Structure 1
Amino acid sequence: MAKQILIDAIRGKRTAKPPWVPYSGVHSAFVINEPADKFLKDPQLLAKGVVETARKYKADGIPLVFDLSVESESMGLEIKYWKDNVPSVQSHPLSDKTVEEAGLKVPGPGDGRWPVLFEAAKIAKPQLDELDCALMGLACGPLTLASHLAGVRIFTDVVKNKEKAHHVLDFCSRVVTKSVEMYCDMDCDIIAIVDPVASQIRDATFKEFVTPYCQDAIKIIHDRGKTSTFFICGDATKVLESVCQIGTHGFAIDEQLNLTFVRDLARKYGVGFGGNLKLTLALSLGIISPREDAIVSLAAGGTHGYVFAPG
């Protein structure tokens, strides 16, 4: 466990070894034998699960939660909880209304589950510090949040109804900025903007509807002296160069990308990169040996700005 090694790697520096981050999410509930729905609503259980998972897997960093419904729930959207998975967003108020018509407001520390996260961080942070493990705060990214608020139509609006899309994304940007501010207040060491669906658009659309709407949040993270990273999922090949240029210290990808390609692009721009242990083929299904998969990823990633993590 080595928090500083992780911070250095995300910032694109050389490290003595690749740091390791398990994106445990609701698996932390499984580790302490609790259902996910109960775990996510109880600060004591949340803190216990995160700390126990960090200890069990000898993590160098670990997310407080990996749940992209937090922001949506705190604005009053309908959320469905599951016993063995993260919650899912059920309502999309901006599919047929403007932000003003829907009465949406930027949430604060007293809204939704944010009080649970604040209390859990307060409990977990000193214990993680003793383990030399970084606490990570994960904020829902602007385009993913827009898809929660407006539904799938946001993906046509960014092409056919740009004025409306910019209006939605501007609001989402303010929500994301407030989220990262709250994670800073929780004393998270590393803060990620998590925008998995940003791989589903063209690079020009990414530059217009993702990059500008992350800048205020990134500035908050850096002004507060924290380390920033950007998470993206899927085949992000066409937008990855823009990801490298978005302004965060580093980024992370999933198993669909070639890690050698990712490594070379990250080093070109002097940023850190993370992945690429195969979550489905290796860890979930066992089609590929997790051990062999880990060896391949570690060999490709090396020790220059690389964070070993699930893809």
Structure 2
Amino acid sequence: MNSKERILNALDCKEVDRTPWLPYAGVQTANLINVNAREYLTSVDNIVDGVCEAYKKYSPDALPVLFDLQLEAEAIGCQLKWADNNPPAVATHILEEGKTVKDLPFPTEESARYPIALEATKRVVEKLGDKIAIYALICGPFTLALHLRGVGIFSEMMRKKDQEKVDELMEYTVQIGKDLAAMYKKTGVDVIAVVDPMVSQISPKHYERFVKEPTTKLNTYIREELDLRVMTFSCGDATKNLESMCQTNTHGIAFDENVDLAFAKDVAMRNHVAYGGNLPLTTVMLFGTPAENVAEAKKEIEIGKGPGFILSPGCDIPYNTPIHNIEAISDYASGNYTPVDVLDEAEFNDNSQEFEDIAIEKGKVFIEIITLDSEGCAPCQYMCESVKKILPKYKEKIVWRESLIKSKAGVNRMAKLGVKNLPTMLINNEVIFDNIVPTEAELVTAIEEHL
């Protein structure tokens, strides 16, 4: 059984000879060829070189061509904010600028960076498509709706008079997904991953009302009209919506370390879909030793063993993740590994300063948002935006900061505050919004209670 067969059989919940390994090496592959994220995501040659280098180093059974959930929003008209070590973030929301859904364009193969993504994918398929399964990632309909509308969509979902606006927007974003999936089909990819991280930030009630049917329509199109496998992917704590995600005519679900793997296995098997995850991105892959990474991979393979399981990171691997950690997982997954007790115990070099405690002053509130990184994590971005949106109302009464866990200081801060999920918002050091972006009304109420 070769690598491609192993992945496709796993997605069909068939027996395989060993657990398939899928590293989500997005901008991390830019690090492999010594370029930054922008240089990588705007160059066909760099993307192809990076993916080919990841193939050489990580012995994968499958690889994504690029992990950039802002591609569609940019083509529709949103401005991006670029960073050296992350995919870009959406900086402006076109539906906040006086436009309506009817004003929005339908991108073509010539729009914005679509030509780069499509040509790079075509060339990767030509080079590696006979060896491994090639994934094309598209932005899920709800996350794309957030990119276009901004955090105001949460309030619209709560108001009956505005709910039809959300439905109209979701219908549009589904069509955008169908169109891009059809373009990727022409390049020869094997799997379309519909990556919708923002569904972890809404309740099961809202998932059922606004997201489940549109996602099912998109997945059905990919599965039946395009004849491709489709994977439904959400980072953050998607536990509450996992069952519904399985019921969207998907071949499989993928999730991060916020979801218990044994629980996800039960849900997936009950719904006869594959499942993939969920190596911890920071505490293990970024800051752990090779031995700790192998131990984590071993644990997850033991939990997930059997039809349908694909070993993978919880999301896009951070840019600075030590290469030897990913190689250690790769060697273990492929059966070509060094015993854990003799692996190099070198630690990631991190000289970051511990986060300062902020004194709580009477008549003021301190808001702290614990994130992976709002520049590269959509749920983190929109939780931060929810605070920025209400700052003019309170002015000097609010002090706020984002505390990233992409350093050991950040991991220590998360543990000190008792934070379990990302993103989480604390007010005066008390967890208030755990892995759910508040509406403006909910946030204002919480602030008033702490003033």
Task: Give per-residue Cα distances to partners, 1:223-276, cap 9 Å, x unaligned.
Answer: 222111100111111111101111111010101111000001101111000001
1:79–1:90 Cα contact (<8 Å) kept: yes
1:13 Cα deviation (Å)?
A: 2.0
1:157 Cα deviation (Å)?
A: 1.4
Note if 1:308 corresponds to 2:304.
no
Residues 1:95 and 1:12: Cα distance change in structure 2 (over 3 Å): farther
1:83 Cα deviation (Å)?
A: 1.7
1:96 Cα deviation (Å)?
A: 5.7
Q: 1:154 matched to which residue of 2?
A: 153
Q: 2:267 matched to which residue of 1?
A: 265
Q: 1:34 matched to which residue of 2?
A: 35
1:16–1:303 Cα contact (<8 Å) kept: no
Residues 1:100 and 1:257: Cα distance change in structure 2 (over 3 Å): closer
1:216 Cα deviation (Å)?
A: 3.4
1:99 Cα deviation (Å)?
A: 2.6
DSSP 3-state at the match of 2:5: helix
1:309 Cα deviation (Å)?
A: 0.2
Residues 1:100 and 1:274: Cα distance change in structure 2 (over 3 Å): closer
Opposite residue 308 of structure 1, the aligned amino acid is L
Residues 1:168 and 1:180: Cα distance change in structure 2 (over 3 Å): same
1:286 Cα deviation (Å)?
A: 1.9
Counterparts of residues 25-174 of structure 1 (less than 5 Å): 25-95=26-96, 97-100=98-101, 103-130=103-130, 132-160=131-159, 161-174=162-175
Opposite residue 307 of structure 2, the aligned amino acid is H
Opposite residue 125 of structure 2, the aligned amino acid is K
Q: 2:8 matched to which residue of 1?
A: 7
Aligned partners of 1:255, 1:206: CA distance in 2, in Å? 21
DSSP 3-state at the match of 1:188: coil
Task: Give per-residue Cα distances to partners, 1:196-217, cap 9 Å, x unaligned.
Answer: 0101111121122112212332
Opposite residue 275 of structure 2, the aligned amino acid is F
Q: 1:224 matched to which residue of 2?
A: 226
Q: 1:285 matched to which residue of 2?
A: 287
DSSP 3-state at the match of 2:230: strand
1:177–1:216 Cα contact (<8 Å) kept: no
Q: 2:239 matched to which residue of 1?
A: 237
Query: Pick from 296, 299, 303: which aligns with 2:302?
Result: 299
DSSP 3-state at the match of 1:309: strand
Aligned partners of 2:39, 2:301: CA distance in 1, in Å? 36
Aligned partners of 1:45, 1:110: CA distance in 2, in Å? 19
2:233–2:255 Cα contact (<8 Å) kept: yes
1:9–1:304 Cα contact (<8 Å) kept: yes
1:181–1:220 Cα contact (<8 Å) kept: no
Aligned partners of 2:216, 2:310: CA distance in 1, in Å? 23
- Once the two structures are overlaid, the 10-residue window that deviates more, 270-279 or 89-98, is 89-98
1:100 Cα deviation (Å)?
A: 4.5
1:66–1:138 Cα contact (<8 Å) kept: yes
> For structure 2, which runs of at least 5 residues remain unmatched after alignment?
315-451
Counterparts of residues 179-190 of structure 1 (less than 5 Å): 179-190=180-191
If asked which structure has higher relative contact order (CA below 8 Å, sep 6+), I would say 1
DSSP 3-state at the match of 2:231: strand
Aligned partners of 1:125, 1:141: CA distance in 2, in Å? 23
Higher Cα Rg: structure 1 or 2? 2
Residues 1:285 and 1:156: Cα distance change in structure 2 (over 3 Å): farther
Residues 1:100 and 1:304: Cα distance change in structure 2 (over 3 Å): closer
Aligned partners of 1:290, 1:80: CA distance in 2, in Å? 32
Q: 2:417 matched to which residue of 1?
A: none
Opposite residue 87 of structure 1, the aligned amino acid is P
Identity percentage of aligned residues: 34
DSSP 3-state at the match of 1:211: helix
Aligned partners of 1:170, 1:113: CA distance in 2, in Å? 23
1:29–1:36 Cα contact (<8 Å) kept: yes
Aligned partners of 1:197, 1:18: CA distance in 2, in Å? 28
1:36–1:85 Cα contact (<8 Å) kept: yes
Opposite residue 93 of structure 1, the aligned amino acid is I
Aligned partners of 1:248, 1:97: CA distance in 2, in Å? 36
1:98 Cα deviation (Å)?
A: 4.7
TM-score norm. by structure 2 comes to 0.66
Aligned partners of 2:136, 2:216: CA distance in 1, in Å? 17
Opposite residue 11 of structure 1, the aligned amino acid is D
TM-score norm. by structure 1 comes to 0.95
Taking only aligned residues, the RMSD between alpha carbons, in angstroms, comes to 1.6
Opposite residue 127 of structure 1, the aligned amino acid is K
Task: Give per-residue Cα distances to partners, 1:153-193, cap 9 Å, x unaligned.
Answer: 11221222312211211111111111211121221101011
DSSP 3-state at the match of 2:192: strand
Opposite residue 28 of structure 2, the aligned amino acid is H
Q: 1:246 matched to which residue of 2?
A: 248
1:252–1:275 Cα contact (<8 Å) kept: yes
